[in-house]
A = this chain, B = another copy of it.
Amino acid sequence: MTVIARIGLDCALPINTADRVQLGHGSGGRMSASLINDVFMRELDNPALAQMGDGAVLSAGSAELVVSTDSFVVSPLEFPGGDIGSLAVHGTLNDVAMMGATPVCLTAAFVLEEGLSMELLERIVASMATAARTAHVPIVAGDTKVVERGKADGLYVATTGVGVVDPRCRPGPRGAQTGDAVIVSGAIGRHGMAIMSAREGLAFDTTITSDSACLVPLVERLKTSGARLHVMRDPTRGGVASALNEIAQASNVGIELDELSLPVPGNVRAACEVLGLDPMYVANEGVLLVMVPRSDADTALAALRSHPLGRDATVIGRVLRDPSGIVAIRTGLGGTRIVDLLPGSQLPRIC
């Protein structure tokens, strides 16, 4: 198995001084981080937002809650393995679950484009409803706005999830510790390549389907397994590489991966080679990364593998003391390469 670990390039553009929003600002890479820090955090800074997790923890009356929000602009609206409706439910539920919380409700705010087929809208709303019902989480509030033809690519939707914090389980991006095992719950790269294949009209021997799925059941099994969950993260936009870079930086640790252990399906690898992409940076929507003490790795793996979504769970690397903030990959040939944040976008509009 060959995995091309793309070495991050410093961006030649003067990102911080760019005076216009660029597509790369939505990539989940270095430009996104710059936009968030320079524009949003500077103005909106507060302790909850500064946690920089998948959501925020806050107190409301006597409860401790997690709140997370995401806007979805995926194109096309329907793709093999999912659509924007189920994706918006899965994506936000997963962000709440990654904080160790139990989701209790969702909201959905739509921007609809004039001329959108009512039949397509109905399919998407039905898919959203099915995804929410399957997860036993109701969509309790919503809103619709309509914009003129040409202004919204069919529809955009923003979902927000509220969950109740589990006091025994508070994983966060700062929780990685030296000696932790890095586990991934399943095959990587499927969502992004399903979108790209649909968009580019690529035909392979087998259709690549998105992995879009609700990770709440996997998190429940991990929580009841007794494994100490230091970090959980769903490697969505920016892929496994970006998620691990953020964790390495937030936790001040190094992360070392084994190239040969990365579960990249054959059709994903083939599609990536055709398009010149690296599966490490491709978005996933039904996979989680979890870091646990090495002695708990077997327990965590068993818990994940007991559910169909986690059947292919595997250890892909380990947390080291040094070099702090760096993700490196040991290649099949015995060398080591650094896996940096990409500056901009490999794949726009994938979620």
Chain A interface residues toward B at CB < 8 A: 18-27, 32, 35-36, 39-40, 43-44, 46-49, 55-56, 58-65, 67-73, 104-105, 107-119, 121-122, 125-126, 128-129, 132, 138-148, 150-153, 156, 158, 160, 162-164, 348-349, 351
Best-surrounded residue of A21, A46, A65 (most CB of chain B within 10 A): A21
Contact A39 B125 (CB under 8 A): yes
Contact A104 B150 (CB under 8 A): no
Contact B69 A107 (CB under 8 A): yes
- CB < 8 Å: which of B43, B65, B144 contacts A25? B144
Contact B107 A67 (CB under 8 A): yes
Q: How many angstroms between the C-alpha atoms of A31 and B340 in the bound complex?
A: 50
Top 9 nearest A-B pairs (CB, nearest first) are: A26-B146, A158-B158, A56-B140, A48-B140, A63-B63, A160-B160, A69-B107, A61-B63, A109-B158
Task: Collect the chain B residues with CB atoms within 8 Å of residue A44's CB.
Answer: 108, 125, 128-129, 132, 138-139, 142
Task: Collect the chain B residues with CB atoms within 8 Å of residue A142's CB.
Answer: 36, 40, 44, 49, 69
Task: Collect the chain B residues with CB atoms within 8 Å of residue A148's CB.
Answer: 23, 348-349
Task: Collect the chain B residues with CB atoms within 8 Å of residue A139's CB.
Answer: 44, 46, 49
Contact A43 B118 (CB under 8 A): no
Task: Collect the chain B residues with CB atoms within 8 Å of residue A39's CB.
Answer: 118, 121-122, 125
**Which residue in chain B gives the minimum CB-CB distance to A56?**
B140
- CB < 8 Å: which of B69, B111, B128, B141 contacts A56? B141
Q: How many angstroms between the C-alpha atoms of A124 and B216 in the bound complex?
A: 35
Contact B156 A46 (CB under 8 A): no
- CB < 8 Å: which of B36, B46, B129, B152 contacts A152? B152
Task: Collect the chain B residues with CB atoms within 8 Å of residue A104's CB.
Answer: 58-60
Task: Collect the chain B residues with CB atoms within 8 Å of residue A132's CB.
Answer: 44
Task: Collect the chain B residues with CB atoms within 8 Å of residue A26's CB.
Answer: 112, 144-147
Task: Collect the chain B residues with CB atoms within 8 Å of residue A72's CB.
Answer: 145
CB distance from A307 to the nearest CB of B (A): 25
Contact A107 B160 (CB under 8 A): yes
Task: Collect the chain B residues with CB atoms within 8 Å of residue A112's CB.
Answer: 21, 25-26
Contact B118 A20 (CB under 8 A): yes
Task: Collect the chain B residues with CB atoms within 8 Å of residue A162's CB.
Answer: 60, 65, 67, 162
**Which residue in chain B gives the minimum CB-CB distance to A143?**
B70
Q: How many angstroms between the C-alpha atoms of A125 and B121 in the bound complex?
A: 31
Q: How many angstroms between the C-alpha atoms of A151 and B348 in the bound complex?
A: 13
Given A62-B63, A118-B18, A105 contacting B56 (CB threshold 8 A): yes
Task: Collect the chain B residues with CB atoms within 8 Å of residue A58's CB.
Answer: 104-105, 138, 140
- CB < 8 Å: which of B115, B121, B153, B164 contacts A151? B153
Task: Collect the chain B residues with CB atoms within 8 Å of residue A121's CB.
Answer: 21, 39
Q: How many angstroms between the C-alpha atoms of A90 and B130 in the bound complex?
A: 32
